[in-house]
Amino acid sequence: MRIYISADIEGTTGISSWQETHKGSGDYGRYREQMTKEVAAACQGALDGGADYIIVKDAHEDGKNLIHSMLPKGVKIISGWSNHPYNMVEGLDESFDGVMFIGYHSGGSSNGTPLAHTLSIDSIRSISINGKKADEFLIYTYAAHMIGVPVIAVSGDGELIRHVRAFDPMIKTVAVQEGFGGAVVSIHPDLAVSRIQKVAKRAVENIASFKTLPLDSYELKVEFKKHQDAYKYSFYPKAEQVGEYTIKYTSQNYMDILTLLMFI
């Protein structure tokens, strides 16, 4: 059984400031290690549940955060970025049986964590797909569903997890912290690790019960932080400006949506 894991850092237990997410500043080293422990737990749980091939995409910033030697032997890592439109799930294909998102976070314009954002922290205020707020979980879940691979487990902040459960209550989840204003209240980092391992095992054991929910048509709206960007990207082929800060783009092919997102 083949499992694909996409890992981010802003939904790692205890993380609450941008400094902690950047190499060479603040307590980055501590959170890089915790991110790695949580991913290692997901890998170990997947192995315990019956997985025999696991690949992890390091999907934060330069894609070089995870400490490979701390993961179970046999787990492969994709580090760096190929610039394929699959982006945070690059390397995923039809041969996989399930996807996990570890360390994921609430989307832009949400107050679920002080680190809430969707893709670009600097330029994007929010993204929606068919009227639904689209965080990175939803954007890359649709990518997995497009090729028939179900999402089976997610860890991250509480607001993200409520979004995941509303989207599909079958997905196994672990909420590691709750944001309020500029703060977060977190469970103990070792408890997060053991919960993620347990949930990953259960998800892989029950992998046959997960479904994919592809849509017939996708209406993407991107609200920018600067009106200049909405004007600029309204010239992307088939995009239109529908508000002072917002562009709209519609396609029946989700690959078109992913491709547009690579160019903004």
Looking at beta carbons only, is 10 or 223 nearer to Zn ion? 10
Question: At closest approach, how far in Å is the CB of 115 from Zn ion?
Answer: 8
Question: Would you say 113 and 11 are in contact if contact means Cβ atoms under 8 Å apart?
Answer: yes
Question: Which has the closest alpha carbon to 250: 131, 115, 162, 169?
Answer: 131
Question: Would you say 45 and 199 are in contact if contact means Cβ atoms under 8 Å apart?
Answer: yes
Looking at beta carbons only, is 28 or 245 nearer to Zn ion? 28
Looking at beta carbons only, is 79 or 209 nearer to Zn ion? 79
Q: Where are the beta strands (DSSP E) in 45-197?
A: 53-58, 76-78, 98-104, 124-129, 132-133, 151-157, 172-180, 183-186
Question: At closest approach, how far in Å is the CB of 208 from Zn ion?
Answer: 31
Q: Which residues contact 264 (CB under 8 A, 6 or more apart)?
A: 119, 120, 123, 124, 222, 229, 233, 236
CA distance 33 to 75: 17
Q: How many CA atoms lie within 13 A of 30 on its CB side?
A: 11
Question: At closest approach, how far in Å is the CB of 9 from Zn ion?
Answer: 5
- Asked if 221 interacts with Zn ion (CB under 5 A), we say no
Looking at beta carbons only, is 10 or 159 nearer to Zn ion? 10
Question: At closest approach, how far in Å is the CB of 118 from Zn ion?
Answer: 11
Stretch that binds Zn ion, among 12-20, 58-66, 203-211, 253-261 (CB under 5 A): 58-66
Scanning residues 130 to 159, which ones bind Zn ion (CB under 5 A)? none
Question: At closest approach, how far in Å is the CB of 157 from Zn ion?
Answer: 12
The count of residues interacting with Zn ion (CB under 5 A) is: 3
- Longest CA span, the chain: 51
Q: Which residues contact 160 (CB under 8 A, 6 or more apart)?
A: 11, 104, 105, 106, 107, 112, 113, 135, 137, 154, 175
Question: At closest approach, how far in Å is the CB of 88 from Zn ion?
Answer: 9
Stretch that binds Zn ion, among 56-64, 91-99, 169-177, 199-207 (CB under 5 A): 56-64
Looking at beta carbons only, is 104 or 249 nearer to Zn ion? 104
Of these, 32, 37, 57, 60, which contacts Zn ion (CB under 5 A)?
A: 60
Stretch that binds Zn ion, among 60-68, 70-78, 151-159, 182-190 (CB under 5 A): 60-68
Q: Which residues contact 116 (CB under 8 A, 6 or more apart)?
A: 105, 106, 107, 108, 109, 110, 159, 179
Amino acid at site 152: I
Scanning residues 4 to 33, which ones bind Zn ion (CB under 5 A)? 8, 10
Question: At closest approach, how far in Å is the CB of 58 from Zn ion?
Answer: 10
Q: Tell me which residue has its CB nearest to Zn ion.
A: 60
Q: Which residues of the chain form contacts with Zn ion (CB under 5 A)?
A: 8, 10, 60
